[in-house]
Structure 1
C-alpha cells in the first residue's frame, strides 16, 4: 500500500486483466513468466503477476519495490527495487568492521579505483597436495535473460531460451584460420532443436564438426568434470582467465554505481556462474578473475564490465576487484608462497573504429554516444583504441615494477589473451624478472606450451623457456575445432573443451590438462631453473 508502489499496482492490475487478454502481445511480454513464477501467463492470477513483476520484471523494467513474495528465480532475498538488487549482507571477511578495513570491505567509487592493488593474502595450511584449477571462456548465453536498453535476446536458436547456460556457436575455421569450415549461421542449425525456420541452411553441415551432446552442452560438461575432480583433489582456488559471459559480458550499459547490482548482472551471475559451479571441493572456493574481451563487450566497449567488478562485494568467492590486481598466497606448513598477478590484455582487440566489426572493442557496432568515462573507461569510440593501448602500457609498467619486489617462491601471471601475444615482453618477464608461469585463455581450446617440447625453428611458440598454457575451452562458446578426437586435423592443442589442474609445492608445479569427460590429456612439470 506504500504510495511509491502505485506504478507497481497499476502494472500488475493491467497485466492480470487486459495484458493477458491480448494473446499475441502477452506471449511476447510475459513469455518467461512460468520460469519465474511456476505459472504460465494464461493461468496467472493477480498474485502471480505481482510475483512476476517483483521477481522478473517484464523487459527488465523494475516497477515494484522489495517483494512480500517468494521468488523462484532469483531467490527472494535478492529481488529488486529500482532495477537494482537489494544489497545482501557482505560476506564476513577478516578486518572489516562497519565498512572499515581493506579493499575487501567495500567497493571503490569507480570500477578502476583499486587497479594495481593487492587483495588480502590467503593462507592454506596442511601437508596434503595443494591444487589450483584454471578455466576460461566458460560463460554461456543466459537464455532466460530479459533484454533491456534496446538489446536483443541472448537466445539465438531454438532450444536456447531456457534457464542456465547455452553454448554460443561461432565460426569454425581451419588451423591456420585461412579457410572457413562452418559459418556461424550454418552452425546455428546444429544447435537448433527443433530445426530453426530459416530459408537457408536447413541442416547441420558435416563441415561444422558438430558433436551432439558435447558441443551443445560444453559448459555443463566442463563444470561437471571440474566438480568430479574437485571432490577428489579439493582445489584451494580457481584461476579464471576471463570471457565469463558470452556474447558481450553483462548485458547492461556501463555506469551502474559500484555499490549497486543491476537486475541483469544478478540474473546472469545466478544462471551462468552460481548455479553451475558447485559441489564438494568446489563450492565456496575463491575465483581469482580477470576480464576477457567479451566481458568488455566483445564488439563494443560499453557493456557492464564494471558490474563484474562490483560483484566481488556481493559474493563470497568471486574476486575481481579491478582489471589488474595481485594476490599473495601462503602455504605455511609446506614453507612456500606464490604471488599471482592478474592483468588485462584486452588491448589486443582494440582496433581502429572501422576495423574488424565483429571482434573489435572500438568498432562501428558501438552505439552512438557510447561512453564509459563515469566508470573510468573509454569516453568514446574515437578514443577507445588509444585508451586501451594506454591501459595496457599501464598494466605492463605495473607488472615490471611488481615482479622484482616478489619474495615468493613462485610468480604466476594470469591474463585473457592466449600464449603468443606480446611474445617478446613475456619472454623478458621470464628471463629478466623471474616470471615462472603464464596462464591464458581466449583461444577456445586447451593447449599446454611446455618449453621442453619446443621444436627448432618454431619461433611462434618460443617464450624463452617460459611455461604457458591456454585454457579457453570452458565451454561458453564452441571450440576452435571439432571435439571429435578422431578428427584432430585442425587442433591447436591437446583438447577442445576442458580445464587445468595444477598441483603446487615448493619445488615444482605439476600441470594437467583435463578434458570435459575427466580424461587427463597432457601433463608437464615446472621446476625452478
Structure 2
C-alpha cells in the first residue's frame, strides 16, 4: 500500500541507526579475495563513523511553499539521466565461479532461500531493466558511481577484454548503446584490497614504494584510457572532471570526483593489500578486517610503501576538492550533482566528511550521488542538499546497511528489503525528479539457468522533487505524488 504524504514526511523527524534485522550467513572460503571482501561488505556497518545524533530537523514543506514555481507534477520533462552504482560483476559463471554475485554458504551459493535466483545473473537483469528505462526516458547520460570492475579492477593488458565482457556486451541494448557513461573509480577499480602491481591478473607483490605508486596510477589509467567502439561512450577523463549538459535552456552540471581516500574500505584497505599478502604468506586473512598502518596485514608492516600509496590517493581527493570548488564558484547551473563512489557521512571520518559537506553547503549543491554500500537510501541535510545511496546495480549482491544520521543530515527513505535497481533523474524547468527504479512483478528469475528467466518491466518507488538552485525557495523539495516507499523489486528478503 502506498504511504500517505503525512506518514512519509514523518520520517523527517530525527532518524536513528537502523540495522537489518537478519543475520549475515557464513561466506565462501575457496578464493581468499572473494571471501574476505564479501565479509567486509557484510560487516561494513560496524566501521561506519561514530557520529552524534541530534534533534535538529529538516523543515516539512508543502506545495504552497513553491507556488512561484511550475507544478512539478505537470511540468514537462526536458532532460533525463540514469544513475547506477556498483554494477561491474566478475566473470566465470559458466565455469562455476559465482564470484561477486551471491551470498555464499559452506563454500557454495546459498540456495536455502530464493534470493540466489535473482542474485546469480543480477547484472544482466539490471542491464535489461536499465535498457527498458532508457527506452522510455531517452537519457542524455548514464551516471556511474564506480566499482565498475569487481574484484580488483583491470590492468593495462586486460582492460579491453574485461570491459568488452563486463560493459560492452552487458549494455548492448539499442536504447543504451550510444549513451555516454560518466564514470568514476571505486575502491575495487584500483585494487580492492589485493596486490596492485602488474598489468594483468594475477597481480603481484610490489617491490618498492615507487613501483606501488606507479601501478596504482596504471590501474586507474587502464580504465581511463579505454575507448568504446560505440561512440566512445565510456567516459573517465580524470580523477576529477566536470560534465556540463545544456538542454532547452536548463543547465545541469555533474561533478565527477575521486573520494577513494574514504575511511570505510577506501584508501587504507587498497594500500594495505591485505588479501594479497594473506594468500602469499599464509596468515589468516581474518586479520584484514582490522589491518592498519604498521600491521602485518598492511604491506607486511612497511609504512614507507603504505604512506606513499595513501599520499597518492589523498592527492586525488585533494585535487577533486580544489577543482570542484573552483568550478562551483563560477557555476551558472540550474542543478549541480556530485557523482562519486563514497558518501561523506556513511563512509568518511568526521574531518573528511565535514570538508565535503561544507563545500556542498557553501555552493548549494543539489544532490550527492554515490554507491559503495550495496543498497539505496535518501538523506536530506537541514540546509537542503540531498544524498542518494545508489549501490545496487548488480555487480555485487545487495546488502543494506544501517542508516547513519548526523546533527545536520537526516534520513528520508531506506529501501525495504534487498532489491536491485538504479535512479532515474528527470529535469523540468524548475525541478529535478529523482525516482528509484527496480523490477516489477512480471519478472521471473531463473537462478542458475538464465533461459528460465522471464523479463518484466520497470517498477518505480521512492520519488522526490528537488527545486533548481536559483529558484529562491527552500531546496528541501517535495515528495512526488507517485512515490512509493513500501516493498518493491527483488529480492525482498535476505533469506
The root-mean-square deviation of aligned C-alpha atoms, in Å, is 3.3
- 3-state DSSP class of the match of 1:212? helix
Distance in structure 1 (CA, Å) of the matches to 2:272 and 2:298: 9
Residue 278 (structure 1) aligns with: 172
Residue 278 of structure 1 and its aligned partner are, at CA, apart by: 2.6
- How far apart in 2 are the matches of 1:292 and 1:389? 14
Using CA pairs below 8 Å that are at least 6 residues apart, which structure has the higher relative contact order?
Answer: 2
**Structure 2 gap segments, 5+ residues each:** 1-75, 198-215, 275-286, 402-412, 441-457, 474-495
Q: Show the counterpart of 2:86.
A: 137
Please tell me whether the aligned partners of residues 272 and 299 of structure 2 are also in contact (alpha carbons under 8 angstroms): no
Which whole-Å deviations, capped at 9, do the CAs of 1:465-516 have from their partners, x for residues lacking one?
211111100111111159xxxxxxxx95345311111101231100111114
CA contact 1:233–1:281 (8 Å) conserved in 2 = no
CA contact (8 A) 1:287 1:318 kept: yes
Question: Hey, what's the Cα distance between the residues in 2 that align with 1:359 and 1:398?
Answer: 33
Residue aligning to 2:365:
435
SS at match of 2:320: helix
1:343 maps to: 257
TM value normalised by structure 1: 0.55
| 1:306 aligns to 2:221 (yes or no) | yes
Give 1:444 deviation, angstroms: 0.4
How many Å separate the matches in 1 of 2:315 and 2:126?
36
SS in 1 for 2:121: helix
- Residue 499 in structure 1 maps to residue 413 in structure 2: no
C-alpha distance in 2, partners of 1:497/1:188?
24
Quote the Cα distance in structure 1 between the aligned partners of 2:312 and 2:292.
Answer: 11
1:426 to partner: Cα distance = 3.8
Q: Name the SS for the 2:161 alignment partner.
A: helix
Shift of 1:382: 4.1
Distance 2:228 2:273 in 1: 37
2:188 aligned with 1:294, yes or no? yes
- How far the C-alpha of 1:418 sits from its partner, in A, is 2.9
Please give the residue correspondences for 1:112-511 in structure 2 after superposition, counting only pairs within 5 Å.
129-143=78-92, 159-160=96-97, 167-169=100-102, 186=105, 188-190=107-109, 204=111, 206=112, 211-250=115-154, 252=155, 256=156, 262=157, 264-300=158-194, 301-302=196-197, 304-312=219-227, 316-331=232-247, 334-348=248-262, 349-351=266-268, 353=272, 357=288, 380-418=305-343, 420=345, 421=348, 422-449=352-379, 451=380, 462=381, 464-481=383-400, 492-494=414-416, 496-511=419-434
Cα distance in 2 between the residues matched to 1:297 and 1:128 = 40
Report what 1:99 is aligned to: none
CA distance in structure 1 between the partners assigned to 2:223 and 2:290 by the alignment: 21
Q: Check the 8 A contact 1:141/1:246 in 2, yes or no.
A: yes
Structure 1, unaligned runs of 5 or more = 1-126, 144-154, 171-183, 192-203, 257-261, 371-377, 452-461, 483-490
Distance 1:322 1:237 in 2: 17
Measure the CA separation in 2 of the matches of 1:524 and 1:341.
Answer: 21
Contact 2:150–2:188 under 8 Å retained in 1: yes
1:523 counterpart residue number: 463
Q: Measure how far apart 1:314 and its partner are.
A: 6.2
Larger radius of gyration: 1
Query: Secondary structure of the residue that 2:419 maps to in structure 1?
Result: coil
How far off its partner does 1:338 sit?
Answer: 1.4
